[in-house]
A and B are shown apart, each in its own frame.
Chain A
């Protein structure tokens, strides 16, 4: 395998990856198709920002945001059909149903659990315990600045949580199932163990006092940028966009079967955070997954952190067989649930 040196590391030693924007294919087809898939992303982003900035109060509500989010995802599913990035990532009926099952858990049982024990409940409790009025000045800033601050603060939290998941074994166990996906499609962001979804949703942005419209504007940044992490569409993404924002290319690299490549591009929306901390690798990968691309079933996804955690505890603290070293290789079992570092 031809590995490429990026900074101090060798990327692509274990699985094929493409490093460098100059090596990434462009949109193929006629002028109309190339025009659409070049300008789609920035046009939608600016249109949505303008909509939330000027929409009357009667429309600027969370329910409108949910409706737009669903409609946008349906549109992107259609784009996946028209202009797939890779044929091998084509959405099948089974993949669609499986992905939607995880999405549906997020909207039903997880949403309910989140309201009692998730980030919202924690924030409410903390806010009730301290005087947060001193942060009220935040709501007096210009709307777009507030939105930018919310988005960056939240993404900063997500970056470190995600990076922590790749570096600390207990957190990694919750995140590992998400890395068993072998293709990127619109709803793949929801695929994973529910414990992980709790953890990744925790953000410190919730402590500040924002204008509701600023929160909706920040949400639209997540929708019109973050959604492209998991999508099977080839875009000619503008240079400024891929410098600032996360893209399918960056995230496919993160999901590569190459171990070193997975240790990059942790941010959700702002790839510039990865650039700041030296974890950004510009490029893409088609061959995704873990353990050679083994598919993980829904049942295994649900129990994986607990079964693997139990195996590890048993191996470390249980009765030792003569051929087992207390801290030897077997302590992590046969599977590849080894901590990422």
Chain B
């Protein structure tokens, strides 16, 4: 945990001036990048309570950056932080790094999350798994057809009977073995199925949408509670 005095002398003056000129937070990127970095970045503004200085605001937020695996730097009215392997119990564990700035009584923040990015990309991964499964299934079908002629005769299923106790208790009797050539119901369509991969692709897409909205609100509420001291 490092907290630097009021100014970070290591920040080159020309870069600081450029960033100030563009009204960007240090570490912020160009407008072009902002077109798509909303996927993993959460931005927001929060008005400080009347009369609250930047020092006071950062002092109130400080416990959030005193977590295991979190390092932070304070440079004037800006605070940057970085997290590595944050504990599940860390209230900001979803974020890997971020910048907070107080300007004219307003807290501006940009927080980046690899978890959001990976969740956004996860559906693509599972769609790829689904395609891979289809390829494997087709390959298996072809090789099964090719070896149809050399197939060993299947063992005949024996008819199963229930124990007398189960008959007395009314348990349904086991199904009789199917006649040769009959469709095998559930087992008829053998081979790997792409359905689970499609389901998880949809699930991660829904989770991304929910998480992008939820985490935006949660972090705003967390900052607000800290700043108001309630």
A residues bordering B, Cβ < 8 Å? 53-57, 60-63, 88, 92-98, 100-101, 104, 107-109, 111-112, 115, 136, 139-143, 182-183, 211-213, 292-297
Q: Is B12 part of the binding interface, using a Cβ–Cβ cutoff of 8 Å?
A: no
Q: How far is the CB of B95 from chain A (nearest CB, A)?
A: 9
| Contact residue among B85, B126, B166, B214 (Cβ-Cβ distance under 8 Å from A296) | B85
Contact between A54 and B94, CB atoms less than 8 A apart: no
Q: Is B215 part of the binding interface, using a Cβ–Cβ cutoff of 8 Å?
A: yes
With known contacts A93-B210, A142-B165, A104–B174 Cβ distance under 8 A: no
8 Å CB interface, B189-213 against A: 192, 196-197, 200, 203-204, 207, 210-211
Contact between B196 and A107, CB atoms less than 8 A apart: yes
Residues of A close to B174: CB separation below 8 A: 57, 211-213
Q: A93-B215, A112-B192, A297-B85 are in contact. List 9 more A-B contacts (CB 8 A).
A: A94-B93, A97-B115, A108-B129, A108-B200, A111-B192, A136-B158, A140-B161, A182-B87, A294-B68
Contact between A183 and B89, CB atoms less than 8 A apart: yes
Q: Is B136 part of the binding interface, using a Cβ–Cβ cutoff of 8 Å?
A: yes
| Contact residue among A55, A63, A100, A295 (Cβ-Cβ distance under 8 Å from B85) | A295
8 closest A-B pairs by CB = A104-B200, A107-B196, A295-B85, A142-B163, A94-B94, A142-B165, A93-B211, A108-B197
Contact between B200 and A107, CB atoms less than 8 A apart: yes
| Contact residue among B192, B203, B211 (Cβ-Cβ distance under 8 Å from A115) | B192
Contact between A95 and B88, CB atoms less than 8 A apart: yes
Categorize the interface residue count of chain B: 35 or more
| Contact residue among A57, A136, A182, A211 (Cβ-Cβ distance under 8 Å from B88) | A182
Interface of A: prevailing SS: helix
Q: How far is the CB of A228 from chain B (nearest CB, A)?
A: 20
* Alpha-carbon distance A95/B115, docked complex (angstroms): 10
* Alpha-carbon distance A139/B126, docked complex (angstroms): 40
> Among A101, A108, A140, A294, which residue has the most Cβ atoms of chain B within 10 A?
A108
> Among B85, B126, B165, B166, which residue has the most Cβ atoms of chain A within 10 A?
B166
Contact between B133 and A57, CB atoms less than 8 A apart: no
* Alpha-carbon distance A96/B203, docked complex (angstroms): 12
Residues of A close to B200: CB separation below 8 A: 100, 104, 107-108
Residues of A close to B69: CB separation below 8 A: 294-295
Contact between B89 and A143, CB atoms less than 8 A apart: no
Can you name 6 A-B residue pairings with CB atoms under 8 Å? A92-B93, A93-B207, A98-B115, A104-B200, A182-B87, A294-B68
* Alpha-carbon distance A310/B161, docked complex (angstroms): 54
With known contacts A93-B94, A108-B129, A108-B200, A143–B85 Cβ distance under 8 A: no
Q: Is B160 part of the binding interface, using a Cβ–Cβ cutoff of 8 Å?
A: yes
With known contacts A61-B186, A107-B200, A100–B207 Cβ distance under 8 A: yes
* Alpha-carbon distance A139/B207, docked complex (angstroms): 44
With known contacts A61-B186, A142-B163, A108–B88 Cβ distance under 8 A: no
With known contacts A53-B171, A63-B186, A295-B86, A109–B129 Cβ distance under 8 A: yes
Q: How far is the CB of A323 from chain B (nearest CB, A)?
A: 29
| Contact residue among B115, B122, B169, B203 (Cβ-Cβ distance under 8 Å from A94) | B115
Q: Is B50 part of the binding interface, using a Cβ–Cβ cutoff of 8 Å?
A: no
Closest chain A residue, CB of each to CB of B207: A97
| Contact residue among B89, B162, B196, B210 (Cβ-Cβ distance under 8 Å from A108) | B196
Contact between A293 and B87, CB atoms less than 8 A apart: yes
Residues of B close to A136: CB separation below 8 A: 158
> Among B85, B86, B170, B171, which residue has the most Cβ atoms of chain A within 10 A?
B171
Residues of A close to B163: CB separation below 8 A: 140-143
Q: How far is the CB of A309 from chain B (nearest CB, A)?
A: 21
Contact between B133 and A142, CB atoms less than 8 A apart: no
| Contact residue among B68, B94, B115, B203 (Cβ-Cβ distance under 8 Å from A293) | B68
8 Å CB interface, B142-171 against A: 158, 160-163, 165-166, 169-171
* Alpha-carbon distance A75/B183, docked complex (angstroms): 36
Residues of A close to B169: CB separation below 8 A: 53
| Contact residue among A88, A92, A97, A139 (Cβ-Cβ distance under 8 Å from B204) | A97
Residues of B close to A139: CB separation below 8 A: 160
